[in-house]
């Protein structure tokens, strides 16, 4: 993996970069659609390519439980299994073990938990989690971490941080053994900064991870229920502690306004289920703000979701038709709005990159958000 900062915005900390991986070259800042169970919900891989997706996300915990590693190994890895041949970043699933599964015991050694699907009991160490992601053939792996809820005491946050550092260090040692995925791609390992909403803990976490030495740094444990302002503050105070020359990834964020704010602070990578989750509920992101397709006001509206959008949905279907599809419970409705939303997020990031290159990101952000309020 190679990461190069191409251009730094003159008015904000935003920057463009290029991340070169074995399976593809990624322009940053980038939005990564989420395919938790080995499919970006309701979209085909062909449609992801139409939307110009450069990299997608998947989840080691989910795939480990279902369909299981043997099946993905037999398929020749996750890329072949799901027919997506560009890079895949896999989340370790630490977050899911803490939030979804019946957690039996957190020990320094690893996690003892029961599957949320069938109650089967499992024990995973940080080393296991690296090996799981190597078996999947992940292009960017995330180490097992302990993600705390919000709010949490500084003492609890510190215990989780210390364990996260310990696990990061063990993950790195496992990774350094040099094992490769099913088709010889080794993939990269990032570190995950924790520390909840405590600036001193965030700083400490960043410093300890840098000492271990990762190729990229993620900021975890944000967007877990805290107010936006607090998230921005924590992000703002954490960013200076991350190396300039490495990609910075804000996990699980978020709404367009959150993404733009984080870009202005120098974040390079984003993922979020919002475009597809909102899409399935008929909520569409547009250049004029969010609209709820099901609303009666659109029943006679012959305009596309977003007149400024060039996606398949906007080039071919009216709000009136989409409303009819949702009202009739037709799958094509949620497909089209999910597709549009993914396109919208990826397209927004392309505009973000163009604006940064021309040192007008601040104006772009103001104008984008201003239009959203109409």
**Alpha helices, DSSP H only, in the chain?**
45-50, 60-65, 69-75, 78-82, 94-99, 126-136, 154-175, 199-212, 228-238, 256-264, 274-280, 312-316, 319-327, 331-357, 361-373
Which residue stretch of 10-18, 256-264, 309-317, 360-368 sits at the interface with a copy of itself (rule: CB under 8 A)? 309-317
Verify binding: residue 83, a copy of itself, rule CB under 8 A. Answer: yes
3 state DSSP class of 313:
helix
Q: How far is CA 180 from the centre of its chain?
A: 23
Token pair of 133, please?
């992601």
Sheet with 191-193: strands ordered across = 30-33, 269-272, 248-250, 217-219, 191-193
Supply the minimum distance, in Å, between the C-beta of residue 151 and a copy of itself.
33
Catalytic residue list contains 139: no
252 forms part of the interface with a copy of itself (CB under 8 A): no
Task: Using the rule CB under 8 A, give the single segment among 17-25, 90-98, 217-225, 298-306 that binds a copy of itself.
Answer: 298-306
Q: Is 200 a catalytic residue?
A: no
- Which listed range, 70-78, 121-129, 229-237, 247-255, lies at the site for a copy of itself (CB under 8 A)? 70-78
Q: How far is the CB of 86 from a copy of itself (least distance, A)?
A: 14
- Cβ atoms 279, 271 nearer than 8 A: no
- Among 153, 295, 299, 367, interactor with a copy of itself by CB under 8 A: 299
CA separation for the pair 53, 347 (Å, rounded): 9
Give the residue with the Cβ less far from a copy of itself, 27 or 327.
Answer: 327
Residue labelled with tokens 């809820």? 149
Q: Which stretch binds a copy of itself (CB under 8 A): 98-106, 202-210, 244-252, 329-337?
A: 329-337
Q: Which of 258, 271, 306, 347 is catalytic?
A: 271
How many angstroms separate the CA atoms of 297 and 303, rounded? Answer: 12
- 287 CB burial (10 A radius; 0-12, 13-18, 19+): middle
3-state secondary structure of 189: strand
Q: What minimum distance in Å lies between the beta carbon of 291 and a copy of itself?
A: 18
Out of 248, 335, 340, 365, name the contact with a copy of itself by CB under 8 A: 335
- For a copy of itself, the closer CB: 70 or 229: 70
x/- letters, 14..43, toward a copy of itself (CB under 8 A):
-----------------------xxx-xxx
Is 56 strand, coil or helix? strand
Q: Known catalytic residues? A: 91, 271
Residues that bind a copy of itself (CB under 8 A): 37-39, 41-46, 66-67, 70-71, 74-75, 81-83, 299-300, 302, 312, 316-318, 320-321, 323-325, 327-328, 330-332, 334-336
């Amino acid at each position: 993996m190679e990461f190069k900062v191409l251009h730094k915005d003159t008015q904000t900390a935003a920057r463009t970069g290029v991340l070169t991986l074995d399976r593809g070259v990624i322009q940053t800042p980038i939005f990564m659609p989420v395919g938790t169970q080995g499919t970006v919900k309701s979209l085909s891989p062909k449609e992801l390519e139409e939307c110009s997706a450069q990299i997608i996300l998947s989840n080691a915990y989910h795939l480990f439980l279902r369909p299981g590693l043997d099946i993905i190994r037999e398929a020749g890895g996750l890329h072949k299994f799901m027919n997506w041949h560009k890079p895949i970043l896999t989340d370790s699933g630490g977050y899911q073990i803490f939030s979804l599964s019946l957690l039996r015991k957190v020990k320094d050694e690893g996690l003892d938990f029961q599957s949320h699907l069938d109650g089967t009991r499992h024990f995973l160490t940080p080393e296991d989690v690296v090996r799981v992601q190597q078996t999947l053939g992940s292009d960017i792996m995330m180490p097992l971490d302990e993600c705390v809820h919000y709010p949490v005491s500084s003492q609890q946050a510190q215990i989780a941080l210390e364990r996260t550092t310990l696990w990061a260090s063990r993950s790195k040692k496992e990774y350094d053994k040099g094992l490769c995925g099913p088709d010889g791609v080794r993939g990269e390992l990032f570190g995950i900064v924790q520390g909840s909403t405590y600036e001193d803990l965030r700083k400490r976490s960043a410093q300890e991870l840098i000492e271990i030495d990762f190729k990229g740094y993620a900021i975890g444990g944000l967007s877990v229920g805290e107010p936006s302002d607090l998230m921005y503050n924590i992000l703002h105070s954490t960013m200076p502690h991350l190396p300039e020359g490495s990609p910075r990834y804000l996990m699980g964020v978020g709404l367009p306004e959150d993404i733009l704010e984080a870009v202005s602070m120098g974040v390079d990578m984003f993922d979020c289920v919002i475009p597809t989750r909102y899409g399935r509920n008929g909520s569409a992101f547009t250049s004029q703000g969010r609209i709820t397709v099901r609303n009666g006001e659109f029943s006679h509206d012959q305009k596309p979701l977003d007149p400024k959008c060039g996606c398949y949905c906007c080039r071919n279907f009216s709000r009136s038709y989409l409303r009819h599809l949702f009202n009739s419970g037709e799958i094509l409705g949620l497909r089209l709005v999910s597709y549009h939303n993914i396109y919208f997020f990826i397209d927004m990031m392309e505009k973000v990159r163009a604006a940064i290159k021309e040192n007008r990101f601040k104006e772009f952000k103001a104008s984008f958000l201003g239009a959203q309020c109409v």
